[in-house]
Amino acid sequence: MAADSDSHKDRVPEHVAIIMDGNGRWANARGLSRLEGHSKGVKSVLNTIEAAAELGVKYLTLYTFSTENWNRPDSEVSGLMDLLVSSIEFYTPDMMKKGVKLKFIGDRQSLSEKVNKSMKQIEAETANNSVVTVMPAVNYGSRLEIVQAVKNIAEKVVDSELNINDICEEHISRALYTAGIPDPDLLIRTSGEMRLSNFLLWQLSYAELYVTDVYWPDFTKDEFRKAINSFCKRSRRFGGV
């Protein structure tokens, strides 16, 4: 199913970023554990990937685990990591069948060998797929990303590979985890929260925002289409008139 009007087809966003919020509150409202909420949220991820592919979205960035999420209880953190690994293993054949390419972004140094191995494996297996590129942000924090980018650029200046007066926005973009990927056109946030939560601060400079009160486990294909249709009806001026 495409956007509402055929005239909107050419305006479908190339890159959609999503802050998948509300798993815990969804679970609490049903007397379930937070991990059960996260597990239900995996289904929403799969539905969203499928809907993105159907609509022609080429890039989908999903805020999966932030650098701040380490502050959660150890049981929840370990459960989330186990869920990530088991989901990768279970759904790899489905990702292959649907032509999904997986590319994880974030700081991998703090992740376990098991998690890193699982991520590398599905990245390798799906590397040649081209229907839609899905980028789960794992152990991701935008401020950390920008700091690391600045350090990389500074090293080039010190090594005389780059003149400090030549540094421009493109140098920073190329030093980010998302290098080579177009900036998001649309940011979706579920659960009604009105903040960016340290997510893609550089890349979201001109993204359209769409916030829904729906908790992530209840985010369906139809909810995704609503967000896309809202985007298609907007006029993007990028500071112009």
pLDDT tens-digit map of 80-123: 999 999 999 999 999 999 999 999 999 999 999 999 999 999 99
Q: How far apart are CA 86 and CA 80, in angstroms?
A: 10
> Which CATH number fits the domain that encloses residue 224?
3.40.1180.10
Q: How far apart are alpha carbons 54 and 73 in whole angstroms?
A: 37
94 catalytic residue (yes or no): no
Is residue 173 in some structural domain? no
Strand order in the sheet with 132-140: 100-102, 132-140, 59-66, 15-19, 186-189, 208-211
Is the per-residue pLDDT at 1 higher than 50? no
Confidence of residue 184 (pLDDT cuts 50, 70, 90): very high
Q: How many domains does the chain have?
A: 1
Q: What is the pLDDT of residues 137-149, one digit of tens each?
A: 999 999 999 999 9
Domain membership flag for residue 81 = yes
The single residue of 21, 23, 139, 185 carrying the catalytic annotation is: 21
The active-site residue out of 4, 47, 69, 129 is 69
Asked whether the predicted pLDDT for residue 2 surpasses 50, the reply is no
The rounded mean pLDDT for the chain is 94
Give Cβ neighbours of residue 227 (< 8 Å, ≥ 6 apart): 16, 186, 188, 210, 212
- pLDDT of amino acid 237: 65
In a domain, 4, yes or no: no
CA–CA dist 83, 210 (Å, integer): 27
The reply to whether 82 falls in a domain is yes
Domain assignment of residue 58, yes or no: yes
Range of the structural domain that residue 42 is part of: 11-141+186-232
Lookup: tokens for 176: 């980010």
pLDDT of residue 240: 58
74 is catalytic: no
User: Does the residue 146 lie in any domain?
Assistant: no
Report the percentage of the chain scoring pLDDT > 70.
Answer: 93
User: What is the predicted pLDDT for the residue at 98?
Assistant: 96
Predicted local distance difference test score (pLDDT) of residue 7: 45
